[in-house]
Amino acid sequence: MRILVVEDENVIAEAILAALATAGYIVDRATDGEDAWFRAGTEDYDAIVLDLGLPRLDGLTVLRRLRAEGRHIPVIVLTARGSWMERVEGIDAGADDYLPKPFQMEELLARLSAVLRRVAGHSSSSLQIGSLHLELRRQAATLDGRTVDLSALEFRLLRYLAHNRGRVVSQSEILEHVYDAAREPDSNALEVLVARVRRKIGADKIVTRRGQGYALEG
The CATH number assigned to the domain holding 79 equals 3.40.50.2300
Residue 23 clears pLDDT 80, i.e. is over it: yes
> pTM of the predicted model, to two decimals?
0.82
The CA-CA-CA angle for residues 158, 124, 43, to 5°, reads: 50
pLDDT band at 101 (very low <50, low <70, confident <90, very high): confident
* Domain encompassing residue 196: 126-216
CATH number at residue 195: 1.10.10.10
**Are 133 and 63 found together in one domain?**
no
**Are 136 and 48 found together in one domain?**
no
Q: Which of 96, 120, 144 is the last residue of a domain?
A: 120
Q: In the chain, how many domains are there?
A: 2
Residue 121 clears pLDDT 80, i.e. is over it: no
Q: Which of 120, 141, 158 is the last residue of a domain?
A: 120
pLDDT of residue 89: 81
Q: Using an 8 Å Cβ cutoff, are 164 and 217 in contact?
A: no
Q: What torsion, rounded to 10 degrees, do the Cα atoms 2, 6, 12, 16 define?
A: -10
Q: Compute the distance between CA of residue 160 and CA of residue 46 in angstroms, rounded to an integer.
A: 10
Residue 82 clears pLDDT 70, i.e. is over it: no
Higher pLDDT, 165 or 19: 19
